[in-house]
Amino acid sequence: MQLEALNVGFGYRKNNWTFRHIDLSLRKGEIVGLVGPSGAGKTTLGRILAGYEQPLEGTVKLNDAPLPKTGYHPVQLVFQHPEKAVNPKWRMKDILHEGWNPDDELLERLGIDRDWLQRWPNELSGGELQRFCVARALGPMTQFLIADEMTTMLDAITQAQIWQAVLDMAKKQNMGILVISHEAPLLDRLCSRIIDISSNVMREG
Amino acid sequence: MKLNKRQSAILMSAITTVLLVTILVGGLLVSNDRIVTNLEYRNLPPSLAHPFGTDWLGRDMLFRTLKGLSISIGVGLIAATASVIIAVCLGIMAATMGRIADAVISWLVDLFLSVPHLVMLILIAFVVGGGMKGVIIGLALTHWPSLTRVIRAEVMQIKAADFVQTSRRLGKSRWFIAIKHIFPHLVPQFLVGLFLLFPHAILHEAAVTFLGMGLSPHQPAIGIILSESMRYLSTGMWWLAFFPGLLLLLVVRAFDLIGDRLRSLVDPYRANE
């Protein structure tokens, strides 16, 4: 059971690669960090793994099969900016229940107030919205989670609270997590190994 | 009683809607006997018996104006609604049905925008045989392009939004996304489009009628009343143009107001004002 990127390359124009020849593998239940300088393509790689973008070359495989094109995607991505990841015209309860119905215990552990469910997205802060995005992505069919700067906008205590909830959930469902972050202490704490995207890259002019 | 902004918006829209419906229905109910020529009462200034005065044939201007406005509101509403429907369909098609559909529709939009409305309107009205039918079809077919552009851009932008992409990854169908994610974002565009097109439609109807290509002169459309009264203004009969013009202004402003209030009702950013 693993998520694999084989020789993946991506760029927005021909012969202008953002990155090339990336190999990466993530087993179920494993927590791996992904680091690299700004603009190295960490987010783009995350989007490719979660099926948001198609790589220009190479393939992404889940359990030795290509990623599914329709239906619930087994690799879920939590974005850096939750404001853009929720429909501003939906109430929070609809947003939360779009993929599955999280139980009260998970909501409590993520620090989601029951009153918030009746609100509109613009009535919550970025940190509060992000908790909904995390809860939404942790459905029972999620096998891998890509956390792209998931808790960057939060204070240290809330950050710890949310990661604790996510880790417990991951353990329960035997979920693999790819943590994209600039915060070395966080990665050291969470991850069993850390991949540096820039050491993997062959830049071409 | 203290109302919050939401409640007062609902109240205001209700009052204005009632006003518009009253004018519309009132105009339809006024029988033609009330506006027959009556040469005994020619050129009377406003009085209690004739609040809007009478014209050079002794016709009561209040009833003529009401009848004219109801015709104009009817024509404007039908034409603006048809235009909005055309714009929504074409805009969504351009944004979702691939490059060729997009190119064809964008080209059509450019084509229609490059010809002056009035010229196009006269040509279309003439081709389909003139009269009320000609004006409505002409108005409907000329007022969609700019709204089509707005809706096309809006749909494209929402389609690329993160929350729509995420919805796909959560296993939602295209149909679900179209109805639940994209459609609610278009509702304000429909409303604003409708209420912005309406005064345009009325004024163009008046213009075409003025040029003799629109409604026939015995129908007291507001355009006909205004153009007729132009000839009598210099003789001091100000009431012929003043009251019909004022009422037209009120009606247009009422539509504007309803559009604005409805927009604030459907916008979550102003949900708790």
Tell me whether residues A73 and B272 touch, CB distance under 8 A. no
- The tokens describing B267, both together, are 């916008």
Domain boundaries, chain A: 29-52+68-195
The percent of residues above 90 in pLDDT, for chain B, comes to: 10
If you average pLDDT over each of A18-22, A56-60, B22-26, which comes out highest? Answer: A56-60
Asked whether the beta carbons of residue B170 and residue A72 sit closer than 8 angstroms, the reply is: yes
Instruction: Say whether A77 and B166 touch across the interface (CB within 8 A).
Output: yes
Backbone torsions φ then ψ of A16, nearest 5 degrees:
-135, 85
Is the pTM higher than 0.80? The answer reads no
Could you tell me which CATH class the domain B5-30+60-270 is placed in? Answer: mainly alpha
The DSSP secondary structure of A18-77, one letter per residue, reads SEEEEEEEEETT-EEEEE--TTSSHHHHHHHHTTSS--SEEEEEETTEEPPSSSB-SEEE
Average pLDDT of A130-153?
A: 91
Q: Is the pLDDT of residue A205 over 50?
A: no
Question: Would you say residue A203 has pLDDT above 50?
Answer: no
Q: B123 or B189: which carries more pLDDT confidence?
A: B123
CB contact under 8 A, B162 and A85: yes
Q: Are B253 and A105 in contact (CB under 8 A)?
A: no
The Cα–Cα gap between B170 and A50 comes to 11
Pairwise pLDDT comparison (B15 vs B4), residue with the higher score:
B15
Q: Is residue A86's pLDDT more than 90?
A: yes
* Cα distance between residue B68 and residue B63, in whole Å: 8
Question: Sign of the CA dihedral A167, A171, A172, A174?
Answer: positive
Cβ atoms B73, B23 nearer than 8 A: yes
Give helix B183-210 / helix B222-233 axis angle, nearest 10°: 40
For residue A81, which residues of chain B lie inside 8 Å, CB to CB? 162
Give the closest-approach CA distance of B151 to chain A in angstroms. 17
Q: Could you tell me which of A60, A51, A67, A71 has the C-alpha nearest to residue A24?
A: A60
Confidence of residue A87 (pLDDT cuts 50, 70, 90): very high
| Residues B198/B80, Cβ–Cβ less than 8 Å | yes
Cα B78 from Cα B86, distance rounded (Å) = 12
Q: With a CB-CB cutoff of 8 Å, which residues 232-251 of chain B face chain A?
A: none
Kindly identify which residue of chain A lies nearest to residue B181, measuring between CA atoms. A87
Flag whether pLDDT at B210 surpasses 50: yes
Burial class (CB in 10 A: 0-12, 13-18, 19+), B187: middle
pLDDT band (50, 70, 90) for residue A202: very low
Residues of A in contact with B166 (CB under 8 A): 77, 79, 85, 136
pLDDT at B147 over 80: yes
Mean pLDDT for chain B overall: 82
Chain B residues 91-150 with CB within 8 Å of chain A: none
Q: What angle do CA B118, B219, B80 make, to 5 degrees?
A: 45
Residues of B within 8 A of A52 (CB-CB) are 165, 169
Q: How many residues are present in chain B?
A: 273
**DSSP secondary structure letter of residue B118:** H
pLDDT score at A131: 92
Check CB contact under 8 Å for B169 and A86: no
Of residues B83 and A201, the one with the higher pLDDT is B83
* The pLDDT value given to residue B11: 85
ipTM over 0.90: no
For residues B57 and B2, what is the distance between their CA atoms, to the nearest angstrom? 51
Q: Verify whether the Cβ–Cβ distance A99 to B170 is below 8 Å.
A: yes
The ranges assigned to domains in chain B are 5-30+60-270
DSSP assignment of A109-148 equals: HTT--GGGGGS-GGGS-HHHHHHHHHHHHT-TT--EEEEE
Q: Which of A70, A87, A122 sits opposite B163 (nearest CB)?
A: A87
For residues A68 and A46, what is the distance between their CA atoms, to the nearest angstrom?
16
CA dist., res. B221 & res. B201, Å (int): 13
| Buried-state track B131-156, b at ≥16 Cβ within 10 A, e below 16 | ebebbbbbbbbbbbbbbbbebbebbe
The more confidently predicted of residues B68 and B48 is B68
Report CB contact under 8 Å: A76, B169: yes
Q: Are A158 and A164 in contact (CB under 8 A)?
A: no
Query: How do residues B11-56 score in pLDDT, each as one tens digit?
Result: 888 888 888 888 888 877 777 766 777 777 777 778 777 778 787 7
**Can you tell me the distance from the alpha carbon of A19 to that of A46, in angstroms, rounded to the nearest whole number?**
13
- Is residue A191 within 8 A of residue A179, CB to CB? The reply is yes
Banded pLDDT at A204 (limits 50, 70, 90): very low
Q: How far is CA B43 from CA B32, B54, B64, B133, in A?
A: 19, 5, 14, 33
Question: How many CB atoms are located within 10 Å of the residue A117 CB?
Answer: 16
The answer to whether residue B5 neighbours chain A at the CB level (below 8 Å) is: no
Residue A4, exposed/middle/buried by CB under 10 A (0-12, 13-18, 19+)?
Answer: middle
Average pLDDT over residues A150-177: 90
Q: Which CATH class, in words, describes the domain spanning A29-52+68-195?
A: alpha beta
Distance CA A121, CA A83 (A): 8
B184·A120 Cβ contact <8 A: no
Across B70-84, average pLDDT: 87
For residue B182, the chain A residues in CB contact (below 8 A) are none
Beta bridge partner(s), residue A77: A146
Residues B163-200 have pLDDT tens digits of 999 998 998 888 898 888 988 888 878 877 887 787 77
Average pLDDT of span A179-187: 89
Q: Could you list the beta-strand ranges (E) of chain B.
A: none
Q: What is the pLDDT of residue B62?
A: 84
Q: Give the C-alpha separation, A157 to B203, whole Å.
A: 63
Handedness of CA B23, B25, B28, B34 (dihedral sign): negative
